[in-house]
Amino acid sequence: MKDEEIIELYFKRNERAIEETDIKYGHYCETIAGNILWNNQDIEECLDDTYMKMWNRIPPTRPRILRAFIGKIVREIALNMYKASKTSKRGGGVVSQLLDELEECLPDNTTVEHVILENELAEIIRDFVRELNERDAYIFTSRYFYAQDISDIAIKFGMTKHNVTVILSRLRKKLQLRLAKEGYLAS
Question: Which H or E run includes 91?
Answer: none
Contact, 44 vs 57, CB < 8 A? no
Q: What's the confidence (pLDDT) of residue 94?
A: 63
Spatial separation of the C-alpha atoms in residues 130 and 148, rounded to whole Å: 19
Q: What is the pLDDT along the chain (187 residues), one digit of tens a residue?
A: 999 999 999 999 999 999 999 999 999 999 999 988 888 999 999 999 999 999 999 999 999 999 989 999 999 999 888 887 754 444 455 666 666 666 666 555 544 444 445 667 777 888 899 999 999 999 999 898 888 889 999 999 999 999 999 999 999 999 988 888 877 766 5
User: What pLDDT shows up at residue 83?
Assistant: 80
- Pair 64, 132: CB distance under 8 Å: no
At 102 the pLDDT is 67
For residues 168 and 139, is the Cβ–Cβ distance under 8 A? yes
pLDDT of residue 145: 84
- Which pLDDT value is given to residue 33? 94
The reported pLDDT for the residue numbered 113 is 47
Q: What is the pTM of this model?
A: 0.64
Tell me, what's the pLDDT at 109?
A: 52
Spatial separation of the C-alpha atoms in residues 7 and 134, rounded to whole Å: 29
* Domains delineated in the chain: 3-87 (1.10.1740.10), 104-181 (1.10.10.10)
Residue from 105, 106, 172 nearest 136 by CA = 172
Q: What is the pLDDT of residue 92?
A: 52
